[in-house]
Amino acid sequence: MAQLILLPGKERSAFKRHPWLFAGSVGRLEGRARPGDTVEVLADNLRPLGRAAYSPKSQIRARFWTFDSEEAVDDAFFKRRIAAAVALRQAMPELHGQQGLRLIHAESDGLPGVIADQYGDTVVVQLTSAGADKWRQAIVAGLLKATGCARVYERSDSDVRGLEGLGPMTGWLHGEAPATPLAIEENGVRLAVDIAGGHKTGFYLDQRENRALLGQLSAGKAVLNCFCYTAGFSLQALAGGALSVLSIDSSGPALVQGRANLALNPQLPAARAEWLEADVFQALRDFRKAGRLFDLIVLDPPKFAPSAAHAERAAKAYKDINILGFRLLRPGGLLMSYSCSGGVGLEMFQKIVADAALDAGRNARILRRLSGAADHPVALSFPEGEYLKGLLVQVD
């Protein structure tokens, strides 16, 4: 096994069990290692720190599999880690009976670069690092063993793979496409899942609990769902008794799927649903000019800041969209605002929303702080895993 020897003083993050080692921390590599190979990590005094996946083309030069320098990284290792991640979900009462479930949440489950989501009897896996890519077969075998699912589909086509020197990989790894389109039921609402062409692995499971909360808040309200994608929030609002739900997205295909999802739920009042294909920023400005107001607004935009380096530019976009949202709320109205940008922390996001309320001339208070669902745990040693943050705010 090759040895990755760190520069003096650069072992501190490993002592804190942070799973990433950046290129600037590395002194030298002794021996030969290809992308994804397991290397032994040593401090500059040759003290063993653990074993990691080597990625020579990435600024994250290595990702720790284990901080136990004696633990073998082999097929059995992945079987154990995957079984532990699945068992964790099975032990959570709030996840019982869920047809859509995150099984592996990358670094927070001790498997850097590995995402696995289950939709019924189908698992969708996303491998974003060189180490995860190398252990594809072992990961698939571990998932099949732990879940008993019939099929595994790969959606390793995110831009992050390019930073690792990897190309996109998609397709069936085990089994074949089901005979009928894939759909799940979430909080009493049926939703189609496009694992081949949808965002991420086909759906945003991290917002499950927040969608349920929206349903509980929607009775008798005029709801505006911005960046609605395939209308998960919108359908929960209708199920919760909203008087009207306007769903906006710039993607025509997403709105088509949103309408199709509504059609999967004949119990919902389709006449109360309105759809608008438009740039959300411009649409909200137009509503402002027209004097149109709402009781409850959801702002769930795409990732404006993929890293901390983009945070300043992203902050302006987040502030602008929240100003527009605040101005469209009736007195007593609710704003449910989110950021999924890893480069924008909760403290920064709260300040952005507070500044937006001030600029919009609204007095507002935080009713709840919102985060990802229970199947998206965050390791205490890896705060970067808490990418989704949100606020439920009420205005006077």
Instruction: Indicate which residues carry an active-site annotation.
Output: 340
Q: Measured between alpha carbons, how far is 232 from 240 in angstroms, rounded to an integer? A: 13
Tokens at 23, concatenated:
């290129």
Answer for the pair 381, 18: CB distance below 8 angstroms, yes or no. Answer: yes
CB 135 within 8 A of CB 173: no
Q: Per-residue DSSP letters for 46-98?
A: --EEEEEEE-TTSSEEEEEEES-TT---SHHHHHHHHHHHHHHHHT-GGGTT-
Instruction: Report, in angstroms and rounded to the nearest whole number, the Rg of the chain calculated over CA atoms.
Output: 22
Cβ–Cβ under 8 Å, residues 361 and 379:
no
- Is the separation of the CB atoms in 343 and 314 below 8 Å? yes
Compute how many other C-beta atoms are within 10 angstroms of the C-beta atom of residue 27: 14
Beta strand segments in the chain, E? 3-6, 20-22, 26-30, 38-42, 48-54, 60-66, 100-105, 114-119, 122-127, 151-156, 169-174, 183-186, 189-192, 222-226, 244-249, 273-277, 294-299, 329-339, 364-371, 389-395
DSSP assigned state of 106: G
Collect all residues with Cβ–Cβ distance below 8 Å to 340 and sequence separation of at least 6: 206, 300, 302, 303, 387, 388
Question: Measuring CA to CA, how many Å separate 205 from each of 33, 103, 234, 349?
Answer: 36, 11, 15, 21
Calpha distance 363→352 (Å, rounded): 14
